[in-house]
Amino acid sequence: MSLYQNYFNQLKSAVSAAHRDISEIDLIAVSKKKPSSDIRKVIDQGHISYGENQIQEVENKWTDLKSEFTHLKLHFIGGIQSRKVKSIYAHCDVVHSLDRLKIVKMFSELETAQGLSREYFIQINTGDESQKSGVTLSEADKFISTCIENYNVKIIGLMCIPPFNDDPKKHFLMLSDMAKNFNLPALSMGMSNDFDVALKCGATHIRIGTKIFGERN
């Protein structure tokens, strides 16, 4: 049995334990640092959603893959530099990491100019960690409402990465409550080590790397 099939069985069990339906979950196979040959093996098993956190990798690997497999959906899950916005917009279908109005404005202007709609998450820094991307908790409500009301982008939900040494559950529940306040349907939360907790807290998009592709070099 492949790593992917093995993990998918784990996922189905975790979804069932959380009293959820597998159709509610978008499993994002995080292919960062993995070559196209490894990604193709997962594509061959029928998987559609993939995630990358560096635009250079997207440009190097996914231009060819997406032209060959036009049904694939590519998610950008890394921090966003303003000079990379245009390329992220051109290559990726979903962006998980909006955290500055300057960036939101740039995506909004691209959407207006090019008429190509993407989906967006706002990244919330639920642990208020100085070294981590994301909107701080004190600014979150204002930031979310400004994005929804003032910019031409489709905000579908919120994303977080809990602090490494903290209980992820409280961060996931915090994010879930925040999303409900703004009627946002999607929650991008949960990775290889805490996806089962995230599912119980309402995750709709989980980001899984090592359990699908193996350890990175």
**How many Å apart are CA 69 and CA 132, to the nearest integer?**
33
Give one DSSP letter per residue of 135-156, joined into a string.
Answer: EEHHHHHHHHHHHHHHSSSEEE
Q: How far apart are CA 17 and CA 33, in angstroms?
A: 32
Cα–Cα distances in Å, from 181 out to 108, 157, 176?
Answer: 23, 11, 9
Q: How far apart are CA 143 and CA 128, in angstroms?
A: 15
Closest residue by Cα to residue 185 from 149, 150, 139, 148? 148
What is the maximal distance between C-alpha atoms in the chain? 49
- The tens digit of pLDDT for each residue in 160-203 reads 999 999 999 999 999 999 999 999 999 999 999 999 999 999 99
**Beta-ladder partners of 99:** none
Of 26, 107, 123, the residue nearest 72 (C-alpha): 26
Domains (range + CATH), the chain? 3-213 (3.20.20.10)
DSSP 27: E
As a whole number of angstroms, the distance between CA 190 and CA 187 comes to 9
Angle between helices 137-150 and 101-114 (to 10 degrees): 20
* Greater model confidence, 217 or 176: 176
**For 54-85, what is each residue's pLDDT tens digit?**
999 999 999 999 999 999 999 999 999 999 99
Judge whether residue 11 has pLDDT over 80: yes
If pLDDT is split at 50, 70 and 90, which confidence band does 10 have?
A: very high
Structure confidence at residue 206 (pLDDT): 98
Q: What is the predicted pLDDT for the residue at 216?
A: 79
Give 109-154 pLDDT, tens digit per residue.
999 999 999 999 999 999 999 889 999 999 999 999 999 999 989 9
Inform me whether the pLDDT recorded for 217 exceeds 80.
no
Q: Give the pLDDT score at 142.
A: 98
pLDDT of 1 reads 83
Q: What's the mean per-residue pLDDT of the chain?
A: 96
Residues 57 and 70: their CA atoms lie apart, in Å, by 18
Closest CA to 9 of 18, 19, 22: 22
Burial class (CB in 10 A: 0-12, 13-18, 19+), 175: buried
